[in-house]
């Protein structure tokens, strides 16, 4: 009698457990991303998709950016996860793709890949076999966001060369504003800032040399470029080593600082936070007047199909649609990001300007080439930059340190 | 079904039924992860899937191969500093506070609450709060210093003050806990003992050193062991206040952050590397478990002597 009662309770517990796992409708697919802020825009985008594909409904699920990689890889390892996944580019993508978690895409399954430029395809491919695993969604441009009002009030025109830039900073400082909002307390922002200001000094020649193994980061060109960053210190906020990313943003948004060295991904956010801000985006200064003002460029991430998706065909349809100009146009206008899809119309004048700046660009070197193995170039550089900007390390030491770290897995650096 | 045999079987069934959920949860969430971390530590990784047995290579890398070895050593040193500073600063002060509370001076109940209050806050709140307080431009601390005519440093951005700021915040957050344990230990000492010592002419200092200190030995054991484990598993506070990389320039990097960053990758800069991460986790576990065991043995012996 008693044992049958125990059995009954176990049965009840088991059935409750079973009911807890929700059942999904056929034709329902899920979309995973780390961009919680995009929810409203995607509601609109997915409504368009469902209009064209009435039997497919897409559910938007976002996770905290700091834990997104961990959540996705854990879910995929267990055979779960969204049907369509927002994935990072370069090394982050390669980790998921080589593990076999993502469905490879080709011209036959996703003819829309033809809409993407070669560098966008490369960003979402595995280096070993050049197979594409995701449709890139945005290119990001790194440059200077400036407050036009402050510049006008101080009587400063946006500088185009290094000497002019330092003079402009001095003038802004004399006018009582912080010339550059950036601090060094947030590691990834240091890498962004270094990318922006060293880009024009390095140019594509240096980048090609590094990729071909002809130069390392101990190269005099790179060390000299890092040295220029030290000249910016007087124009950063007081106590800049303790200024983190959110503080720097607030300094710029509140009009206490004239410039913010950052990415095009800030534009939409800055406008939302301070709609009255007279925002402009300019390229960093060239070494000398008349030389090219390279911005740094990289691809943010892409849309991939979960290899274990139970709705593979529907997921593929969604990814194909995300490779069309119709999607790209709306994506760019709703989210203020630059879609890499060829023939995209960018209606916003500032974004269109950024897209134009992209024509004179260098790759954001660590993200594009050295985030594939540990320790990544980014990790090494970010930590070292903080020390260099604080004065406890020289540019030459930093260059040597980054080179030695990367040499652990990158053969061309081992010989040097 | 009846009789003693039936009843015994039923009670055994009940026992199994009641134990099973706990056992399953323990196995799934404690034993299994521990064992799998142990196993992964011996594997190389190709992306996110184990690529093959590599023996002790991961351990060799994190302990002896550049640049990992330098990071491991740096993080370990920081943990040691944290432990020493918390023992001396946080727990030393807690001991004195406990004694002050023991004397039941006027208002001691209110003070007891005030001192214990931060302990109930979550580390996330405390970390965030102090990060704001220590902000070089808007922060409360530097604004207050400015009133006194002092330009404070960027506390969390300066490699000489960052770790100290974190330790201070930790002490602010946790000091009520050792104080409470010490106070409980002191309250267990019989009033006669203390009064006898007083009659023999012992002042506060002598009382604290000669009488109370040996008699609160069990409390000391708990405080030392918990502080040791806490210091070497330190994660939340540095993660919130100075980030996963132990900014600035690794000045606040500790084993917990280093392990997380290695195993799961940074926000945008790192990759997931379960092999090396697991090796670190295993080393941390072995170190903490063995040292805790030794410390416990030594301190327990001291309790008995006392």
Claim to verify: residue A270 and residue A312 sit in the same structural domain: no
In a domain, B43, yes or no: no
- The 10 Å CB-count burial string (b at 16+, else e) for A285-296 is bbbeeeeebbbb
Contacts of B262 in chain A (CB under 8 A): 374
Contacts of A401 in chain B (CB under 8 A): 67
In a domain, B8, yes or no: no
**416 residues of chain A, pLDDT tens digit each:** 455 565 555 555 554 444 444 444 567 999 999 988 889 999 999 999 999 999 999 999 999 887 788 889 889 988 899 999 999 999 889 989 988 999 999 999 999 999 999 999 999 999 988 999 999 999 999 999 999 999 999 999 999 999 999 999 999 999 999 999 999 999 899 999 999 999 999 999 999 999 999 999 999 999 999 999 999 999 999 999 999 999 999 999 999 999 999 999 999 889 999 999 999 999 999 999 999 999 999 998 999 999 999 999 999 999 999 999 999 999 999 998 999 999 999 999 999 999 999 999 999 999 999 988 888 999 899 989 999 999 999 999 999 999 999 998 899 998 75
Claim to verify: residue A256 and residue A390 sit in the same structural domain: yes
The Cα A69–Cα A87 span in angstroms is 8
What is the domain count for chain A?
2
pLDDT in tens, A259-300: 999 999 999 889 999 999 999 999 999 999 999 999 999 998
In a domain, A265, yes or no: yes
CA distances from A134 to A85, A94, A302, B247 (A): 9, 11, 5, 33
Q: B44: which strand partners?
A: B52
In a domain, A334, yes or no: no
In a domain, B239, yes or no: yes
**Domain extent for B287:** 59-305
Q: Both tokens of residue A85?
A: 């996944």
Residue B179 or A416, more confident: B179
Q: Looking at chain A, which residue has its C-alpha nearest residue B260?
A: A70
Claim to verify: residue A105 and residue A252 sit in the same structural domain: no
Whose tokens are 């109940």? That residue is B109
Residue B153 touches partner A, C-beta closer than 8 Å: yes
In a domain, B145, yes or no: yes
The overall longest dimension of chain B from CA atoms, in Å, is 87
Q: A261: which strand partners?
A: A144
- Cα angle A157, A163, A290 (rounded to 5 degrees) comes to 75
Eight-state DSSP code of residue B86: I
Question: CB of A177 within 8 A of CB of A150?
Answer: yes
User: Dihedral of the CA atoms A317, A320, A326, A327 (nearest 10)?
Assistant: 90
Q: Residue B120 sits in a domain of what CATH number?
A: 1.10.3720.10
In chain B, the N- to C-terminal Cα span, in Å, equals 57
Please provide the average confidence, as pLDDT, over all residues in chain B: 90
The Cα B118–Cα B178 span in angstroms is 13
In a domain, A307, yes or no: yes
Residue A243 touches partner B, C-beta closer than 8 Å: yes
In a domain, B134, yes or no: yes
Claim to verify: residue A315 and residue A282 sit in the same structural domain: no
The H or E element that residue B106 is part of is: none
pLDDT in tens, B194-206: 999 999 988 999 9
Whose tokens are 């432990």? That residue is B83
In this complex, do B137 and A2 lie within 8 Å of one another by their Cβ atoms?
A: no
**Domain extent for A60:** 21-138+300-323
Eight-state DSSP code of residue B211: I
In a domain, A345, yes or no: no
In a domain, B297, yes or no: yes
The Cα A201–Cα A228 span in angstroms is 9
Q: Both tokens of residue A262?
A: 């950052």
**Closest of B226, B238, B280, B279 to residue B76, by C-alpha:** B280
What is the domain count for chain B?
1
Coil, helix or strand for B202? coil
Indicate the burial class of A116 (C-beta count within 10 angstroms; 0-12, 13-18, 19 or more): buried
Instruction: Tell me which residue in A77, A96, A379 faces B270 most closely, judged by beta carbons.
Output: A379
In this complex, do B265 and A69 lie within 8 Å of one another by their Cβ atoms?
A: yes
Claim to verify: residue A229 and residue A286 sit in the same structural domain: yes
Per-residue confidence (pLDDT) for residue A12, from 0 to 100: 53
pLDDT over 90, % of chain B: 68
pLDDT in tens, B22-63: 999 999 888 888 888 888 899 988 767 788 899 899 999 999
**Closest of B242, B237, B263, B198 to residue B62, by C-alpha:** B263
Per-residue confidence (pLDDT) for residue A99, from 0 to 100: 87
Claim to verify: residue A153 and residue A236 sit in the same structural domain: yes
Per-residue confidence (pLDDT) for residue B269, from 0 to 100: 63
Best mutation site among A95, A192, A237, A374 for testing chain B: the one with the most B CBs within 10 Å?
A374
Q: Write out residues 50-109 of A within 8 Å (CB-CB) of B.
A: 65-66, 69-70, 73, 76-77, 88, 91-92, 94-101
Q: Write out residues 115-174 of A within 8 Å (CB-CB) of B.
A: none
Indicate the burial class of B167 (C-beta count within 10 angstroms; 0-12, 13-18, 19 or more): buried
pLDDT in tens, B118-156: 999 999 999 999 999 999 988 999 999 999 999 899 999
The total of other beta-carbon atoms located within 10 Å of residue B143's CB is: 13
Q: A102: which strand partners?
A: A306
Q: A32: which strand partners?
A: A61, A85
Claim to verify: residue A174 and residue A218 sit in the same structural domain: yes
Contacts of A8 in chain B (CB under 8 A): none
In this complex, do B249 and A91 lie within 8 Å of one another by their Cβ atoms?
A: no
Best mutation site among B257, B269, B272, B274 for testing chain A: the one with the most A CBs within 10 Å?
B269
Eight-state DSSP code of residue A60: E
Residue B134 touches partner A, C-beta closer than 8 Å: yes
Q: Write out residues 250-269 of B within 8 Å (CB-CB) of A.
A: 250, 261-262, 264-269
For CA atoms A239, A240, A243, A249, the dihedral sign is positive
In a domain, A5, yes or no: no
In a domain, A1, yes or no: no
pLDDT in tens, A338-374: 999 999 999 999 999 999 999 999 999 999 999 888 8
In a domain, A370, yes or no: yes
Lowest mean pLDDT among A13-22, B59-68, B106-115: A13-22
Beta strands in chain B, from DSSP E residues, in sequence order: 43-46, 49-53
Per-residue confidence (pLDDT) for residue B45, from 0 to 100: 82
Per-residue confidence (pLDDT) for residue B274, from 0 to 100: 87
Claim to verify: residue A102 and residue A233 sit in the same structural domain: no
Q: Looking at chain A, which residue has its C-alpha nearest residue B18?
A: A6
Give every CB contact of residue A127 below 8 A, 6+ residues apart in sequence: A94, A372
Q: How many angstroms away from the CA of A351 is the closest CA of chain B?
A: 24
The H or E element that residue A410 is part of is: none
Eight-state DSSP code of residue B137: T
In a domain, B127, yes or no: yes
Indicate the burial class of B106 (C-beta count within 10 angstroms; 0-12, 13-18, 19 or more): exposed
Residue B50 touches partner A, C-beta closer than 8 Å: no
Best mutation site among A88, A194, A242, A408 for testing chain B: the one with the most B CBs within 10 Å?
A242
In this complex, do B157 and A371 lie within 8 Å of one another by their Cβ atoms?
A: no
The Cα B141–Cα B136 span in angstroms is 8
Question: CB of A302 within 8 A of CB of A136?
Answer: yes
Q: Residue A318 sits in a domain of what CATH number?
A: 3.40.190.10
Eight-state DSSP code of residue B171: H
Per-residue confidence (pLDDT) for residue B236, from 0 to 100: 94
Query: Torsion-angle region of residue A176: left (phi > 0), alpha (psi -120 to 50) or beta?
Result: left
Q: Looking at chain B, which residue has its C-alpha nearest residue A401?
A: B67
Claim to verify: residue A165 and residue A284 sit in the same structural domain: yes
Residue A380 touches partner B, C-beta closer than 8 Å: yes
For CA atoms B146, B151, B154, B156, the dihedral sign is negative
CA distances from B41 to A354, A375, B63, B75 (A): 46, 18, 13, 19
In a domain, B47, yes or no: no
Give every CB contact of residue A31 below 8 A, 6+ residues apart in sequence: A42, A46, A58, A59, A60, A61, A82, A83, A84, A85, A86, A318
Q: Both tokens of residue A53?
A: 């594909």
Question: CB of A206 within 8 A of CB of A226?
Answer: no
The Cα A236–Cα B137 span in angstroms is 12
Coil, helix or strand for A49? helix
Q: What are phi and psi of A179, to 5 degrees?
A: -65, -50
CA distances from B126 to A61, A88, B172, B235 (A): 30, 32, 9, 13
Give every CB contact of residue A368 below 8 A, 6+ residues apart in sequence: A90, A123, A298
In a domain, A3, yes or no: no
């Amino acid at each position: 009698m008693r044992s049958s009662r125990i059995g009954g309770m176990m049965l009840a517990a088991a059935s409750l457990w079973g009911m807890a796992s929700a059942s999904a409708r056929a034709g329902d697919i899920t979309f995973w991303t780390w961009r919680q802020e995009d929810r409203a825009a995607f509601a609109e985008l997915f409504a368009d998709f469902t209009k064209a594909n009435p039997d497919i409904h897409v559910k938007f699920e976002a996770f905290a950016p700091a834990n997104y990689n961990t959540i996705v890889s854990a879910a995929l390892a267990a055979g779960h996860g969204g049907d369509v996944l927002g994935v990072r580019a370069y090394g982050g993508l390669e980790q998921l793709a080589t593990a076999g978690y993502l469905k490879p895409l080709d011209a036959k399954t996703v003819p829309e890949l033809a809409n993407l430029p070669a560098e966008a395809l490369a960003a979402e491919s595995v280096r070993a076999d050049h197979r594409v695993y995701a449709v890139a969604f945005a290119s990001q441009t790194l440059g200077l966001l400036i407050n036009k009002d402050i510049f006008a009030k101080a009587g400063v025109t946006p500088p185009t060369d290094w000497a002019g830039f330092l003079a402009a900073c001095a003038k802004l400082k004399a006018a009582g504003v912080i010339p550059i909002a950036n601090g060094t307390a947030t590691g990834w922002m240091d890498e962004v800032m270094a990318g922006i200001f060293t880009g024009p000094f390095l140019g594509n020649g240096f980048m090609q040399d590094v990729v071909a193994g002809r130069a390392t980061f101990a190269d005099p060109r790179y060390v000299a470029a890092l040295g220029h960053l030290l000249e910016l210190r007087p124009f950063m906020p007081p106590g800049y080593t303790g200024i983190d990313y959110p503080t720097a943003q607030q300094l710029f948004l509140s009009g206490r600082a004239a410039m913010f060295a950052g990415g095009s991904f800030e534009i939409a956010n800055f406008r939302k936070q301070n709609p009255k801000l007279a925002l402009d985006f300019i390229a960093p200064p060239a070494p000398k007047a008349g030389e090219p003002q390279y911005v740094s460029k990289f691809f943010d991430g892409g849309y991939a199909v979960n290899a274990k998706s139970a709705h593979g065909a529907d997921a593929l349809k969604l990814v194909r649609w995300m490779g069309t100009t119709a999607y790209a146009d709306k994506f760019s206008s709703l989210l203020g990001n630059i879609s890499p899809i060829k023939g995209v119309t960018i209606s916003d004048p500032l974004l269109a300007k950024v897209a134009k700046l992209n024509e004179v660009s260098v790759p954001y070197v660590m993200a594009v080439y050295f985030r594939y193995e540990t320790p990544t170039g980014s990790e090494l550089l970010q930590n070292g930059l903080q020390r260099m900007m604080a004065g406890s390390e020289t540019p030459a030491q930093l260059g040597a340190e980054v080179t030695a770290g990367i040499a652990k897995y990158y053969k061309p650096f081992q010989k040097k | 079904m009846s009789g003693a045999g039936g009843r015994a079987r039923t009670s055994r069934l009940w026992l199994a039924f009641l134990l099973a959920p706990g056992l399953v949860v323990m196995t799934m969430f404690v034993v299994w992860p521990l064992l799998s971390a142990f196993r992964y530590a011996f594997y190389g990784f190709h992306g996110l899937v184990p690529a093959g047995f590599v023996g002790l290579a991961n351990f060799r890398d994190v302990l002896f191969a550049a640049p990992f070895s330098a990071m491991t050593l740096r993080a370990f040193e920081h943990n040691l500093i944290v432990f020493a500073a918390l023992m001396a600063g946080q727990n030393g002060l807690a001991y004195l506070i406990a004694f002050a509370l023991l004397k039941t001076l006027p208002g001691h109940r209110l003070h007891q609450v005030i001192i214990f209050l931060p302990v109930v806050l979550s580390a996330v709140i405390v970390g965030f709060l102090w990060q704001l307080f220590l902000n070089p431009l808007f922060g409360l601390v530097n604004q207050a210093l400015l009133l006194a005519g002092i330009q404070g440093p960027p506390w969390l951005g300066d490699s000489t003050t960052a770790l100290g700021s974190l330790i201070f915040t930790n002490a602010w957050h946790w000091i009520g806990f050792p104080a409470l344990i010490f106070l409980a230990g002191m309250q267990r000492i019989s009033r006669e003992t203390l009064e006898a010592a007083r009659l023999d002419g012992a002042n506060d200092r002598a009382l604290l050193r000669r009488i109370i200190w040996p008699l609160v030995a069990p409390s000391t054991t708990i405080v030392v062991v918990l502080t040791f484990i806490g210091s070497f598993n330190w994660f939340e506070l540095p993660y919130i206040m100075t980030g996963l990389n132990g900014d600035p320039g690794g000045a606040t990097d500790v084993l917990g952050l280093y392990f997380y960053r290695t195993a799961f990758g940074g926000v945008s800069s790192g990759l997931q590397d379960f092999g090396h991460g697991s090796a670190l986790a295993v080393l941390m576990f072995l170190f903490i478990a063995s040292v805790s065991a030794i410390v416990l043995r030594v301190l327990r012996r001291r309790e008995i002597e006392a």
